[in-house]
């Protein structure tokens, strides 16, 4: 329902092992651990999806200003938002809800 957990409450914030972050609803692969970085925002942040087509975006007008919402390309589940203040090489900050994802460590 497009909600967001409180900042700094997701255990995925502190997940630093190698692996893949997947959609909690449908198991779709979303982000590789090597694209995760510490943004200071309080939510798991990534600079790029695992591959083109893994996530989709739409415009969210719920606040005073428009934001770009990110959702799972497979099931449509709300994942978070993307902003243009991330690190290179993309300059993007995919600020994701931890409850919308699960982590699969590399074996």
Name the DSSP class of 40: S
Which residues belong to the active site?
95
Model confidence pLDDT, tens digit, residues 67-95? 899 999 999 999 999 999 999 999 999 99
> Beta-carbon neighbour count of residue 20 at 10 Å?
16
Q: Give this prediction's pTM.
A: 0.92
pLDDT at 90: 97
CA distances from 30 to 21, 48, 61, 66, 106 (A): 6, 9, 24, 23, 15
Asked if residue 23 has pLDDT above 80, the reply is yes
**Residue 1 pLDDT more than 80?**
no
Tokens of 102: 């699960």
Q: Are residues 65 and 54 in contact, defined by beta-carbon separation less than 8 angstroms?
A: no
Instruction: Share the mean pLDDT of the chain.
Output: 93
CA separation for the pair 59, 64 (Å, rounded): 13
């Amino acid at each position: 329902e497009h909600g967001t957990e409180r900042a700094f409450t997701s255990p995925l914030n502190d997940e630093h092992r190698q692996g893949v972050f997947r959609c909690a609803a449908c198991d779709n692969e979303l982000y590789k651990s090597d694209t995760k970085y510490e943004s200071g925002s309080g939510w798991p942040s990534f600079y790029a999806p695992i591959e083109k087509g893994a996530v989709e975006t739409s415009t969210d007008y719920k606040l005073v200003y428009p934001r770009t919402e990110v959702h799972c390309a497979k099931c449509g589940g709300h994942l978070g938002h993307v902003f243009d203040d991330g690190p290179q090489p993309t300059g993007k900050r995919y600020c994701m809800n931890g409850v919308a994802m699960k982590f699969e460590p590399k074996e």
